[in-house]
Structure 1
Amino acid sequence: MQYDCLIVDDELALAETTSEYFNMFDVRSAYVTSAVECEQFLQQHEVAIILLDINLGHTSGFDLCKKLRLTTQIPILFISARSSDDDVLIALNIGGDDYIQKPYTLSVLLAKVKAVLKRYGNQVASTEIIQFGNVVIDCNLCRVRVNDIEIKLKTLEYRLLCYLAKNKNRVIPKKELFQEVWGDSITSDGTLNVHIRHLREKIEENANAPQYICTVWGTGYVLEDQN
């Protein structure tokens, strides 16, 4: 069976309420309360997006995320009452696509989930090949090669790189990236900065002195192509 959203949260009442609310607005959702149940659920069903709590009883959402990332690139949005910068950075560094702090408003959370579903559901195949320097993006196969070696990107990393590349040599404001890549205007600077850093580490010869993805302080980013 196919679901739009799987909620993984050991707070049973909150998970159940969130799932019921989503289903009321035609976002087909289910919930589980442990890492084991999550893995079992994914073996039997297809899921478009996962909402993942950090605290899962005797296990950690961080550990579950790292395990899931070995086999899937499904967008993972962390939901947690923990608000420290360290927790946010860990979540994004291990494969999370966003971090939403509890307590959240169900309507805002639903809007975020719908935006992600719309973005991924509306991806259309293209025969376009984008190249800059030693980087080649095959938009049809969703593959990126650097010096003829294929590199692995998370879903949002790939979307971010494609948007920068399609608008190369143009300074793109952060708000535009939030809207066009994440699908909303309330994504945090920290989330964007982490994804930019990961892209630099994967495509730049020296991530600390980027040749392609350059920061325009106070504004946003530009992908520079001198060819």
Structure 2
Amino acid sequence: MNFNCLIIDDEETIGQTTSEYFNMFDVTCEYVTSYGAAIDFLSEHQVSLLLLDINLGEHSGFELCKKIRKTTNIPILFISARTSDDDILTALNIGGDDYITKPYSLNILLAKVKAILKRCESNLIPVKTSPCEQIQIDYNYRQIMVNQVPIKLKNMEFKVLSYLMEHTNTVISKEELFQNIWQSRFIEDGTLSVHIRRLRQLIEEDPDNPRFIKTIWGVGYVFEVKE
């Protein structure tokens, strides 16, 4: 099941109140009260945004943020009664997108969450490939969705794939990729080939016989989508 927001807060009253308020305004939301419950929830559900407390009993929100950031760039908003500069800087430096102090105003928090969700939605560029298959590239999370499954990309892999998909059904020369992705003409062909091979392994059913990322021998590559 998909949710707009997950609240992770060891104070159950805050989690429940905030969750109920969000759901009243059509932002689908659930809450959990521990590190372990958050991991379990995220393994079973698709979530678009996290509201994360720092204090989570035996664990901390900092630990959870670091773990989540290994696999996804989902927006994470820290919510905490702690107001020191050190806590705020730590939260932002490990991958937090914002830091909101308690007590917070529910209507202002909801507005922040809605704005981020809207921005995330507008950054999704779907590429329909067949009635039963879809590839999407998500600029906010810097990942791809293959058959609705999120897949994290390395920085250069993301740049190469997004450039090819932005120019769907257009042959892109190696020189153009070198210039626009690496911003250099002195990249070896092998470097590009490694990234193309990795991308094919991620999105193609048969990487040796690619359906989407085609090689145009002597020229470059094309992301092909047949009408």
Deviations 1:17-50 (A, max 9, x none): 0000000000000000001000000010000000
Is 1:8–1:53's contact at 8 Å kept on the other side of the alignment? yes
Is 1:137–1:145's contact at 8 Å kept on the other side of the alignment? no
Separation of aligned partners in 1, 2:110 and 2:77 = 12
Task: Give the Å deviation of 1:9.
Answer: 0.1
The answer to whether the aligner puts 1:117 opposite 2:106 as a matched pair is no
Is 1:6–1:50's contact at 8 Å kept on the other side of the alignment? yes
Deviations 1:184-221 (A, max 9, x none): xxxxxxxxxxxxxxxxxxxxxxxxxxxxxxxxxxxxxx
Q: Which amino acid aligns with 1:37?
A: A
- The aligned runs of 1:54-69 (5 Å cut-off) are 54-69=54-69
Task: Give the Å deviation of 1:13.
Answer: 0.5
- Structure-2 change in CA distance of 1:144 and 1:33 (3 Å): farther
- Structure-2 change in CA distance of 1:145 and 1:40 (3 Å): farther
Q: Which position in structure 1 is the counterpart of 2:88? A: 88
Separation of aligned partners in 2, 1:32 and 1:85 = 27
Q: Which amino acid aligns with 1:67?
A: K
Q: Which position in structure 1 is the counterpart of 2:171? A: none
CA RMSD across the alignment: 2.8
Task: Give the Å deviation of 1:123.
Answer: 1.3
SS of 1:116 mapped into structure 2 = helix
Q: Under a length normalisation based on structure 2, what TM-score does the superposition of the two structures give?
A: 0.57
Q: Percent identity?
A: 57
Task: Give the Å deviation of 1:71.
Answer: 1.3
Q: Which amino acid aligns with 2:77?
A: L
Deviations 1:105-148 (A, max 9, x none): 00000000000000001114399xxxxxxx99565569965766
- Structure-2 change in CA distance of 1:137 and 1:108 (3 Å): same
Q: Which amino acid aligns with 1:65?
A: C
Q: Which position in structure 2 is the counterpart of 1:74? A: 74
Q: Which amino acid aligns with 2:23?
A: N
Q: Which amino acid aligns with 2:106?
A: L
- The aligned runs of 1:24-173 (5 Å cut-off) are 24-125=24-125, 139-140=162-163, 145=182
Contiguous gaps of at least 5 residues in structure 2: 128-155, 167-179, 193-227
How many residues align? The count is 143
Contiguous gaps of at least 5 residues in structure 1: 128-134, 151-227
- Structure-2 change in CA distance of 1:144 and 1:6 (3 Å): farther
Separation of aligned partners in 2, 1:45 and 1:126 = 21
